[in-house]
């Protein structure tokens, strides 16, 4: 059976639905790659939809034919950690429902994100990937730059992997 996926731009009214997706996805999918001591502090901070992303016009949702949210994610021209080069966009808050993994949903979403960023004049797309998602981003053409600690709050950091994609290589 082929699943019909619709991609659309998120809006403020999607907050609760995206919250549910993040709260379902992150604890389950990150568990094999992070110890409980990290997840107990990180998940409450990362599994919350960000209103500014939902209102950005560059955050997308993938839904099935019945309107169920399967994946969410986007990009912004500014880095979540501060300044960045003007030609570099930044992957933001990507998640896929665990029941929708390996069905092309995440790839469809990220292809839309990458094409949208390129269409806005970005040459590169920077990503602070979870350890879990490194193979996914690698399959999309991102290359690993190295490990990084993302500061979630004073005294709370989250181990991640910095990755970069050349948007000139993205095919529709």
Domain architecture of the chain: domains with CATH: 6-169 (3.40.630.30)
Q: Which residues contact 23 (CB under 8 A, 6 or more apart)?
A: 47
For residue 15, what are the contacts with CB-CB under 8 A and spacing of at least 6?
A: 49, 51, 54
> Scanning the structure block, which residue is given the tokens 């993205």?
170
Looking at residue 91, its pLDDT comes to 97
Task: Please state, as a whole number, how many other Cβ atoms lie within 10 Å of the Cβ of residue 133.
Answer: 24
pLDDT in the model for residue 80? 74
Mark the ranges of the chain whose per-residue pLDDT is less than 50: 1
Q: What is the pLDDT of residues 118-134, one digit of tens each?
A: 999 999 999 999 999 99
What number of CA atoms fall less than 13 Å from residue 131's CA on the CB side? 13
Q: What is the pLDDT of residue 109?
A: 98
């Amino acid at each position: 059976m082929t699943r019909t996926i619709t991609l659309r731009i998120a809006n403020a009214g999607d907050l609760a639905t995206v919250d549910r997706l993040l709260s379902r996805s992150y604890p389950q999918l990150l568990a094999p790659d992070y110890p409980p001591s990290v997840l107990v502090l990180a998940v409450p901070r990362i599994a919350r939809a960000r209103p500014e992303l939902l209102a950005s016009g560059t955050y997308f949702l993938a839904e099935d034919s019945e309107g169920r949210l399967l994946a969410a994610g986007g990009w912004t021209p500014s880095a979540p950690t501060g300044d960045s080069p003007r030609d570099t966009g930044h992957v933001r808050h990507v998640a896929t429902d665990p029941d929708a993994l390996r069905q092309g949903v995440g790839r469809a979403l990220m292809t839309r994100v990458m094409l949208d960023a390129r269409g806005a004049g970005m040459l590169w797309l920077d990503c602070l990937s979870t350890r879990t998602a490194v193979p996914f981003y690698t399959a999309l053409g991102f290359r690993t730059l190295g490990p990084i600690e993302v500061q979630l709050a004073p005294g709370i950091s989250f181990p991640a992997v910095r990755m970069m994609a050349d948007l000139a290589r993205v095919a529709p």
